[in-house]
Structure 1
């Protein structure tokens, strides 16, 4: 059984723990907390615990931008990222949705392609030698 919820502050520690598992620190704790407070963080739970989350905003040229999709490493390849994306598409406050990933992140590129996103451009110089690919989908 999978459930998707708008995250609450009481979920913060569990969500930050997932992020820490992936990036090795809790350096995004304030960012995640702010997203939860602003109701821009969606979490996904299996029958046992939180397994992932998505954070978005609408400051990308007044369009929705999925800024972060994180799934616990032990729970990847089980459709959780797709569930988060599908749910976000159903509630998106704008018709245009953008996101991005590094050129080196082949797994995330596949997730975007499998979910109907198309490449919309590149941004150089964010990470040295690893351009950011912008993805787009219209609802």
Structure 2
């Protein structure tokens, strides 16, 4: 059974373990903890295990911005990212929701497009030679 909900501080260690599995270190622990405390971290579980999480903020021109979507490698391509995004958009505190991904990240581009996001611009010079594509979706 797939369950999506806001993360609680008791979930912190499991979320950080998942993030560490994906990026190779626990450097984002403080960021994740702060996001949970603000209510800006959403988790998805498969039965009892956290298999993914999403972090957003509202600092992007006063609009919601999905800053991070992490799914455990063994659970990718099973709809978990879409569940997180759908939940976030439906509960977004703003009517406009933005996110971004690198031009090289074709799989994340497909996730955004499958979830009704459209391209809204490009930012150069964040990652050399790999522009960031901005995506947009209206909550309406």
Q: TM-score range by the shorter chain?
A: over 0.9
RMSD (Å) for aligned C-alpha atoms = 0.7
Aligned to 1:95: 95
Map of 2:67 onto structure 1: 67
Following TM superposition, by how much is the alpha carbon of 1:48 offset from its aligned partner in structure 2, in angstroms? 3.3
* Separation in 2, partners of 1:87, 1:138: 14
What's the TM-score once normalised by structure 2's chain length? 0.97
State the shift of 1:115 in Å.
0.5
1:1-139 to structure 2, matched below 5 A, reads 1-139=1-139
Q: Secondary structure at the match of 2:109?
A: helix
Query: What per-residue deviation string (whole Å, max 9, x for no partner) do you get for residues 90-121 of structure 1?
Result: 10001100000011111100000110100000
TM superposition score normalised by structure 1? 0.98
C-alpha separation between the residues in 2 aligned to 1:89 and 1:16? 23
Where does the alignment leave 5 or more consecutive residues of structure 1 unmatched?
A: none
For the residues of structure 2 that align with 1:65 and 1:116, how far apart are their CA atoms? Answer: 15
Distance 2:20 2:109 in 1: 22
- How many residues get paired? 139
Question: Equivalents in 1 of 2:112, 2:65: separation in Å?
Answer: 13
Gaps of 5+ in 2: none
